Amino acid sequence: MESQYLHTTLLALLLLLPISICIAKKPPPPCNFPAIFNFGDSNSDTGGLSAAFGQAGPPHGETYFHHPAGRYCDGRLKIDFIAERLGLPHVSAFLDALGSNFTHGANFATAGSTVRPQNTTLHQSGFSPFSLNVQFYQFSDFHRRSQIIRRRGAPVFRGLMPNAHHFSKALYTFDIGQNDLTAGYFLNMSTAQVRAYVPDVLDQFKTVVKDIYGQGGRYFWIHNTGPVGCLPYVMDRLLVSAAQVDKAGCAAPFNEVAQYFNGRLKQAVQQLRQDLPHAALTYVDVYSVMYDLISRAKQHGFVHPLQACCGHGGKYNYNMHIGCGGKFMVNGTEVLVGKACRDPSVRINWDGVHYTEAANKWVFDKIVDGSYSDPPVPLRMACHRFK
Ligand SMILES: *[C@@H]1O[C@H](CO)[C@@H](O)[C@H](O)[C@H]1NC(C)=O
Ligand SMILES: *[C@@H]1O[C@H](CO)[C@@H](O)[C@H](O)[C@H]1NC(C)=O
Ligand SMILES: *[C@@H]1O[C@H](CO)[C@@H](O)[C@H](O)[C@H]1NC(C)=O
Ligand SMILES: *[C@@H]1O[C@H](CO)[C@@H](O)[C@H](O)[C@H]1NC(C)=O
C-alpha cells in the first residue's frame, strides 16, 4: 500500500511538474489600460495650473507642441510618454474646460502641488492650492458626474467622458512629494524638521490611495521623488555652503532628504499592498535614473546638467525673480526670458525647476520596462499583482 501510495504521489508530481513550469513560464497578458488618472505636481501637469492661474507662456512647449501646452517643459513629460506607450491620447487636465476630452482619463496634477495642504497661498509661497487631497475630491466628483453626464443623452457628452468600467481598469499614476520637501525648507525649517514631517506626508498619501481604491481603482504606478538637490531653484535658494556639494555638483542634504522620503514612500507602498488585497501597486525609482543622468550626463550624451536651458543669469542660468517665459527691462526695452541654450535635446534642465523633454524621454525609456520598479513589472504589465 505504502509503496503504491508513494508511486501514485510521484506520478502525480511528475505529471504536475511540467504543468507548473508551464504556468510559471507563461507571461500574463498585457493590461490594456483603457484610461489614465494622474495625480501630482508640475512633473506631470499637462495644463491644470495653466487653466486655473494663467498659461505658462512661450517658450514652454516649443520643442514638441510648437506652442505653450500647459506643461512646464519644452515638450512632453513622462506622463505623456506613458500615455503614448499605452496607446492612449495625452491626458487632459481636469481643470482645463476648453478642448478637453476625458474619454481615456483625466489629469488632476498641478504645478506646485503638495501632498499636504499648505497654509499659504500660491501668491505667497508658490505652492498650488490643489494639494493631493483636493485632487482626490476632484477625482471623486469627476467619477460621479462624468457618469451622470454620459447618461444625459446628447452623444457629444458620451464622446468626452470615460465608461463607468474604465475606473476599475485604469492605471492610476502618481508623481508627487518633491514640493512637500521644499515647502519646509522655504519656511526656513532645518533638515531635521523636514524629516520629522515626512511620515505625516506619507500617511496623507496612503489615505488618498485607499480612497481611490474605495472608488474602484486597482492599478497604481507610483513615481518616487527626484534628486531635488540637483535643481537650480533649490541650489540657488537654499545651498549655503560649498561643503554640501557632492561629486555631481548637487546639494547633498536635499538629495538625502529626498532619499529618506523615497525610503518611506517605498514602505508606504508595501503597507498599501498588504492593506489593499486586490490592488497592484508599482513603486518606480525615478530618483536613481535621474541622478544617474545628471551625474554622468556626458556619458549619456547630455551637457551642462545643472544649468537651466531657459533662464537668465546666475551660476545656474536661473533667477527666481525672472523665470523662463518671464520678462524684464533692459535699458527701457522689454526682454523675454527665452531659450538660452541652443539645443534642448542635449540638455537636462529646462527652466531651473523642471526637466527637458529629452531628459523626460531618457528617464521614461529606463523605467518603462520595470528595471527600476518594485516589483520589477513593466508598464504594460502593471495590472498584475506579484508577490
Ligand atoms: C497647517 O496648519 C494646520 C493647523 O495649524 C496644521 O495642522 C497643519 O499641519 C499645517 N500644514 C502644514 C503643511 O504645515
Ligand atoms: C474623444 O477622444 C476619443 C478617443 O480619442 C474619440 O473617440 C472621441 O471622438 C473624442 N470626442 C470628441 C467629442 O471628439
Ligand atoms: C527665512 O529666512 C530668510 C533669511 O533670514 C528671511 O529673509 C525669510 O523671510 C525667512 N522666511 C520665512 C518664511 O520665515
Ligand atoms: C544699456 O545701455 C548702456 C548705455 O547706453 C550700454 O552701455 C549697455 O551696454 C546697455 N546694456 C545692454 C544690456 O544693452
**Among protein residues, the one whose CA lies closest to atom 5 of ligand 2:** 89
Which pLDDT score is estimated for 340?
A: 77
Grid cell 508599482 — which residue? Answer: 282
Closest approach atom of ligand 3 to CA 187: 13
Torsion of CA 123, 99, 352, 305, to 10 degrees: 160
Ligand nearest to the CA of 163: 2
The 3-class SS string of 121-134 reads: CHHHHCCCCCCHHH
Instruction: State the sign of the Cα–Cα–Cα–Cα dihedral 37, 42, 44, 50.
Output: positive
d(Cα 79, Cα 39) in Å, to the nearest integer? 10
Residue 263 has pLDDT above 70, yes or no: yes
354 flagged as catalytic: yes
**Among protein residues, the one whose CA lies closest to atom 5 of ligand 1:** 119
Q: What are the φ and ψ backbone dihedral angles of 258, each rounded to 5 degrees?
A: -60, -40
Q: Which of 116, 119, 182 to mutate to test the pocket of ligand 1 (most atoms within 8 A of CB)?
A: 119
Q: How many CB atoms lie within 10 A of CB 238?
A: 17
Residue 116 has pLDDT above 60, yes or no: yes
Residue 178 has pLDDT above 50, yes or no: yes
Q: How confident is the model at residue 2 (pLDDT cuts 50, 70, 90)?
A: very low
Domains and CATH numbers, the chain: 34-299+357-381 (3.40.50)
> Nearest CA to 209 among 270, 260, 259?
270
pTM higher than the cut 0.75: yes
Q: What digits encode the pLDDT tens for the residues 313-350?
A: 899 999 999 999 999 999 999 999 987 799 999 999 99
**Among protein residues, the one whose CA lies closest to atom 12 of ligand 2:** 159
Is 206 in contact with 213 (CB distance < 8 Å)? no
Closest approach atom of ligand 3 to CA 186: 13
Ligand nearest to the CA of 328: 4
Residue 372 has pLDDT above 70, yes or no: yes
51, containing H or E segment: helix 48-53
Is 120 touching ligand 1 by the criterion CB < 6 Å?
no
Instruction: Report the chain's mean pLDDT, rounded to a whole number.
Output: 93
How many CA atoms within 13 Å lie on the side-chain side of 281? 24
**Among protein residues, the one whose CA lies closest to atom 14 of ligand 3:** 187
Report which of residues 13 and 241 the model is more confident about.
241
Q: Which of 80, 351, 373, 374 is catalytic?
A: 351
Ligand 2, residues at Cβ distance < 6 Å: 89, 101, 103, 156, 159-160
Q: Which of 160, 163, 166 to mutate to test the pocket of ligand 2 (most atoms within 8 A of CB)?
A: 160
Residue 233 has pLDDT above 60, yes or no: yes
d(Cα 336, Cα 68) in Å, to the nearest integer? 15
Q: Which of 120, 121, 188 to mutate to test the pocket of ligand 3 (most atoms within 8 A of CB)?
A: 188
d(Cα 92, Cα 241) in Å, to the nearest integer? 42
246 flagged as catalytic: no
Residue 5 has pLDDT above 80, yes or no: no
Neighbouring-strand partners of residue 56 = none
Q: How confident is the model at residue 154 (pLDDT cuts 50, 70, 90)?
A: confident
Ligand nearest to the CA of 313: 4
Grid cell 498641478 — which residue? Answer: 110
Q: What digits encode the pLDDT tens for the residues 120-150?
A: 999 999 999 999 999 999 999 999 999 999 9
Which pLDDT score is estimated for 15?
A: 47
Q: What is the mean pLDDT of residues 297-309?
A: 98
Bridge-based pairing of strands 280-284 and 333-336 is unpaired
Measured in angstroms, how far is the CA atom of residue 118 from the centroid of ligand 1? 7
Residue 17 has pLDDT above 50, yes or no: no
